[in-house]
Amino acid sequence: MGTSPDLALWRILQRESPMTFAQYMGLCLYHPDFGYYAQAPSIGRRGDFFTSPCVHSVFGAALATQILEIWTLLDQPKDFILVEAGAGEGYLALDILSYLEKKGFDFPYFIIEPFPAYQARQKEILAEKACKVSWVQDIQDLPSFTGVFLSNELFDAFPVHLVELTEEGLKEVYVTARQKKITEALSALSSPEILKRLKPYIENWPLGYRTEVCLSIEPFFKEISRRLNKGALITIDYGYSQRDYYHPERYRGTLMCYAHHRFLEDPYAAPGHTDITAHVDFSLLKGLGERLGLVNIGFTQQAPFLVGLGVENLLSEVSPGKSKDLEALKMLILPQGLGMSHWVLIQARGLPAETKLRGFSLSNRLRIL
Ligand SMILES: C[S@@+](CC[C@H](N)C(=O)[O-])C[C@H]1O[C@@H](n2cnc3c(N)ncnc32)[C@H](O)[C@@H]1O
């Protein structure tokens, strides 16, 4: 009889101990056999959490209209493609492609998906679009492209370093797994980059202040930017500007864990069975974009973005006259749904900085980043 996945993951955690929280999070989410995402957890009603593409196809339709506007502003390049990373169930790809098809457009669609189990589910859902969609397992396998790279709730799942302010200065959380128990200890920072990121904020923090720093977004973002010849990056996620993220009042950080739609306090309760996430530092993405020669075009919350794109009219276009659709729309745009927690950042190469996109016609809050 084989070893159970739980036991196997536990053994790996013990073997690697002590490790930074980022290493712990990386193993729990991304171990290729025993990590949370390797099991391709369902997203939506039957899953641990909801995301906008699972709420209604109008979300994808709205994004498709934004993509078409970008394509037009870029002078309708013939080699224009779409790339999505972390496509989850594959609904966003399906809804974007379906809407584009209805409007007579036919762009190739690449999905970067590291996990075979998710790839298999995406292939099922996208069966009718099979001839348009290609999969790569790793960003390294993606060729240079002209087009749009998009992600929804991708970066919040990138491993974060946990730090705490002590009387001896800033310390990092290290995790040890022993005899079915996980304990934390504070020790020296594992990378000078952590202090560099937090230095402007530390002096305002009370002792015991805990927060996170994500170092893994930068290399991934650089790889995407390097491949983008011309086009845009659309990032949708929950997050803050750096000033809000590291505000003295946010003294417990933004780490969140979910299992079966329940919020769990403890990231150590069920390794491999819990989604562990942290909010995205959007100022970091903006700064990285600037350093990599991208132009920051707009930043706003999901609600004004979708309304700016005419989401109400799109709703009657994609599914006319169904009353439950109105409930879905509320979920996408109201503050008690995903409307104000989620933000949209668009960065571009080959478009001027003063480009006005419809998604930002009601609000553009780039200056807060
Ligand atoms: C929270 S789910 C979001 C799924 C989907 N975008 C949605 O909105 O429903 C995170 C997804 O990101 C994927 N993922 C995580 N790290 C990734 C990486 N480095 N490259 C590509 N996908 C990644 C996971 O496999 C998972 O499909």
111 part of a folded domain? yes
pTM of the model: 0.96
What is the CA(274)–ligand 1 centre distance, in A? 15
User: Residue 92: in which H helix or E strand, if any?
Assistant: helix 91-102
Beta bridge partners of 276: 257
d(CA 129, CA 229): 26
The verdict on 224 and 241 lying in the same domain is yes
Tokens, residue 355: 């480009």
Burial (CB < 10 A; 0-12, 13-18, 19+), residue 67, is: buried
The verdict on 168 and 51 lying in the same domain is no
The verdict on 83 and 222 lying in the same domain is yes
d(CA 259, CA 282): 26
Number of domains in the chain: 2
Nearest CA to ligand 1 atom 17: 86
The verdict on 268 and 181 lying in the same domain is no
Nearest CA to ligand 1 atom 12: 86
d(CA 211, CA 201): 11
Unique residue bearing structure tokens 């132009």? 295
154 lines ligand 1 (CB under 6 A): yes
d(CA 368, CA 212): 20
What digits encode the pLDDT tens for the residues 268-306?
A: 988 999 999 999 999 999 999 999 999 999 999 999 999
Give the confidence band of 6 by pLDDT, cuts at 50, 70, 90: confident
34 part of a folded domain? no
Domain that holds residue 76: 39-158+214-368
The verdict on 223 and 109 lying in the same domain is yes
348 part of a folded domain? yes
The verdict on 278 and 166 lying in the same domain is no
The verdict on 303 and 358 lying in the same domain is yes
The verdict on 19 and 151 lying in the same domain is no
The verdict on 302 and 198 lying in the same domain is no
The verdict on 291 and 344 lying in the same domain is yes
Q: Which atom of ligand 1 is nearest to the CA of 112?
A: 21
What digits encode the pLDDT tens for the residues 86-136?
A: 999 999 999 999 999 999 999 999 999 999 999 999 999 999 998 999 999
**Omega of the bond leading into 18 within 30 degrees of 0 (cis):** yes
The verdict on 17 and 128 lying in the same domain is no
Task: Check whether 42 has a pLDDT greater than 50.
Answer: yes
What's the pLDDT score for residue 1? 45
Last residue of a domain, one of 213, 234, 256: 213
What is the CA(115)–ligand 1 centre distance, in A? 9
Q: Return the higher-pLDDT residue of 282 and 264.
A: 282
Task: Check whether 321 has a pLDDT greater than 80.
Answer: no
- Domain holding 266: CATH number? 3.40.50.12710
Mutate-to-test residue for ligand 1 from 51, 55, 112, 154, highest number of ligand atoms within 8 A of CB: 154
What's the pLDDT score for residue 306? 98
Q: How far is CA 93 from the centre of its chain?
A: 15
80 part of a folded domain? yes
33 part of a folded domain? no
364 part of a folded domain? yes
What's the pLDDT score for residue 150? 98
d(CA 57, CA 79): 26
Task: Check whether 71 has a pLDDT greater than 80.
Answer: yes
What's the pLDDT score for residue 323? 67
Q: Which atom of ligand 1 is nearest to the CA of 49?
A: 1
Q: How far is CA 147 from the centre of its chain?
A: 19
305 part of a folded domain? yes
Arithmetic mean of pLDDT, 209-228 = 97
Q: Which of 176, 244, 260, 167 is nearest to 211 (CA)?
A: 244
Q: With the CA atoms of 338, 343, 349 and 351 taken in that order, what torsion angle do they form, in degrees rounded to the nearest 10?
A: 90
321 part of a folded domain? yes
Unique residue bearing structure tokens 């999505």? 84
Unique residue bearing structure tokens 């996109």? 357
The verdict on 322 and 178 lying in the same domain is no
d(CA 346, CA 264): 32
What is the CA(199)–ligand 1 centre distance, in A? 30
What is the CA(154)–ligand 1 centre distance, in A? 5
Give the confidence band of 193 by pLDDT, cuts at 50, 70, 90: very high
Q: Which atom of ligand 1 is nearest to the CA of 89?
A: 9
d(CA 76, CA 294): 19
180 in Cβ contact with 227 (< 8 Å): no
What is the CA(14)–ligand 1 centre distance, in A? 26
What is the CA(170)–ligand 1 centre distance, in A? 31
